[in-house]
Structure 1
Amino acid sequence: MTTPDTHLVPIGRSDLQVFPLALGGNVFGWTADRDASFAILDAFTDGGGDLVDTADGYSHWVPGHTGGESESVIGEWIARTRRRDDLVIATKVSTHPQFSGLAPENIRAAADASLARLGTDVIDVYYAHFDDESVPLEDTVAAFSGLVDAGKIRAIAVSNYSAERIDEWMAVTEANGFHAPVALQPHYNLVERDFEGALRERAERYELGVFPYFGLAKGFLTGKYRGGASVDSPRAGGAAEYLNARGDAVIEALDAVAAAHEVSLATIALAWLRLQPTVVAPIASVSRLEQLPDLLASATVALTPEELAALSAASA
């Protein structure tokens, strides 16, 4: 497969640069078994992709799973292919059943466990997955910064944090000379646009690279749930909430733009997200290899200002 002519995008103030689409690893070892996950990783990297987003908690909610399944699959792929240098690995701490929360000793133990599962000596981007207000923020921030000093992680990031708590994290960082976060992972897509207020302002203020999750609104923005189609995917139950007049308007707008470019709705939905201020790369996952080309195409399709405006207006 030929690598597309795509410019890499810097992650905030860090020295990391990535392809403008992130591959969600939440499905690895869950709805994508080991062989399917390996094929997806092969095709993603062959297509120019590099950033794989996972978490230590994926997929502890599945009967028989204990957490860490996704990281283990990625680690097995690295061991098989010896392509660690082709990946930028983002993982997270706070949701693994054995490493819950953000106490300092927990963060350090969870990072070591993630490194072991991934089979690598450094995590490129390490997220605080969910805020933990039971722990003094100074302790959490110090632990993350210490992992940078120890060479175990390259960059710090936060996910699912409020604007106010990001302010507090940055204040602690500045007061103590700690390493600052470089990235933010919020819920953001064409039908979920709360990010565009205070959180985007903080991303701009602190130069945080943004990696939106649920970029396809749990599958709704692919168009496959229109017209009363049943929502039966184990990952997509939440798509049903968008089956309303506003959702119909968004799908209609996506139809028009997708037809003009002769690509899928998913390609256009992710391209719109990629082109929003502060966004480095949307995160999207696939369980089947044949779904991946539509995602990769989103990194290179060029939308006009008029098309971007039409999509934004339909989802306002």
Structure 2
Amino acid sequence: MTRIGSSDLDVLPLSLGGNVFGWTADRDTSFAVLDAFVDGGGDFIDTADSYSSWVAGNEGGESETIVGEWLASRKPAGIVVATKVSQHPQFRGLSAGNIRKAAEASLMRLGVDELDLYYAHFDDETVPLEETVAAFGQLVADGQVRHVAVSNYSADRIREWIEIARRTGAAVPVAVQPHYNLVHRNEVEEAIIPVAEEFGLGLVPYYSLASGFLTGKYRSTDAAGQASPRAQGAAKYATEAGLRIIDALEEIGDAHGESIAATSLAWLRAQPTVVAPIASARSVEQVPDLLAGARLELSPEEVAVLDQVSEWSPAQA
């Protein structure tokens, strides 16, 4: 178990991504994936109020609704659910009134009295940050949110949020959710991790498997014939440099009897401040590899090999 930043939330170091629920995984499949995740020791679920508004016929909130129905059906103990605000078609932005309405809608869909971890999904510079910080703080004070967090914020804006929260007595963020994986390192390592280290924030990276590329499924830049909606996004990484990373992951994983995906997640967990990588599963069969990634411990030498093979510089781009 690992603790999320300075919070009182202890979780298995893997977060099950809910972005596929109501999209590439229907309700029954989503229930089966959630069951397999919890049966395997998982206890941390990540979703957002906007999932999956991009699907034709959806309105947003489908993922939260599925998670809420699953919670009501299974009544599991000790599950931590994180959700987010700012991108739902009916609740865009981070004004105080919008945050309040969006949080209440999320509470209703999830069927819970309190949101364990509530993220500002994307920065909204049209609203004074003082207003946003105060609105999140009020939700905590009112008992509707347990802990606040930020996602897709720059290092400067994270610093500013924390300074405002400390000055005004509002709840201070405990986590930050950036795009971070073996093929997308520099920005996070150069700017976000130093802030997380300074303020005791836990990193909960999304796109941990680079839209599936870091499972080893895509060995070509040609995504033709791939049924997955994410295939094009994953296949773009299948460059010479990207495939060297896959080869290194495969070699290290084989030495442990684990998959490329599990090894990639284990590398992320070994990075400073990382608490729990987020990874999603469209089927029950994908869940064991994700759970293995929460338990696989790489040696410092293995981490160094992956650090080196994934190192990026402009000359290599």
Given the two structures, how large is their TM-score scaled by the length of structure 1?
A: 0.96
Q: Which residue of 2 aligns with 1:5?
A: none
CA RMSD of aligned residues (A): 1.0
Does 2:51 align with 1:58? Answer: yes
- Amino acid across the alignment from 1:34: R
Deviation at 1:178, TM superposition (A): 1.0
| Aligned equivalents of 2:107, 2:175: Cα separation in 1 | 20
Superimposed CA distance per residue, residues 254-280 of structure 1 (whole angstroms, 9 cap, x where no aligned partner): 111011111110010001001111000
| Aligned equivalents of 1:174, 1:103: Cα separation in 2 | 20
Is the partner of 2:113 in helix, strand or coil? coil
Given the two structures, how large is their TM-score scaled by the length of structure 2?
A: 0.95
* 8 Å contact kept, 2:29–2:282: yes
| Aligned equivalents of 1:229, 1:158: Cα separation in 2 | 35
* 8 Å contact kept, 2:119–2:151: yes
Question: How do residues 1-316 of structure 1 correspond to structure 2 at under 5 angstroms?
Answer: 8-83=1-76, 85-193=77-185, 194-228=187-221, 230=223, 232=226, 233-316=228-311
* 8 Å contact kept, 1:45–1:86: no
- Amino acid across the alignment from 1:158: V
Residues 234, 227 of structure 1: alpha-carbon distance in 2 compared, 3 angstrom cutoff: closer
* 8 Å contact kept, 1:60–1:97: yes
- Amino acid across the alignment from 2:31: F
- Amino acid across the alignment from 1:155: H
* 8 Å contact kept, 1:71–1:118: yes
Taking only the aligned residue pairs, the percentage that are identical comes to: 60
- Amino acid across the alignment from 2:56: P
Find runs of 4+ consecutive structure 1 residues off by over 2 angstroms.
Answer: 227-232
Superimposed CA distance per residue, residues 258-316 of structure 1 (whole angstroms, 9 cap, x where no aligned partner): 11111110010001001111000000001011010000001111211111110110000
For structure 2, the 5+ residue unaligned runs are: 312-317
Is the partner of 1:158 in helix, strand or coil? strand
How many aligned positions are there?
308
Q: Comparing 99-108 with 220-229, which one deviates more in the overlay?
A: 220-229
| Aligned equivalents of 1:109, 1:309: Cα separation in 2 | 46
Deviation at 1:171, TM superposition (A): 1.3
For structure 1, the 5+ residue unaligned runs are: 1-7
Residues 153, 273 of structure 1: alpha-carbon distance in 2 compared, 3 angstrom cutoff: same
Q: Which residue of 2 aligns with 1:4?
A: none
Superimposed CA distance per residue, residues 225-263 of structure 1 (whole angstroms, 9 cap, x where no aligned partner): 114552631123211221212101101111110111111
| Aligned equivalents of 1:86, 1:38: Cα separation in 2 | 17
| Aligned equivalents of 2:165, 2:138: Cα separation in 1 | 12
* 8 Å contact kept, 1:30–1:59: yes
- Amino acid across the alignment from 1:262: G
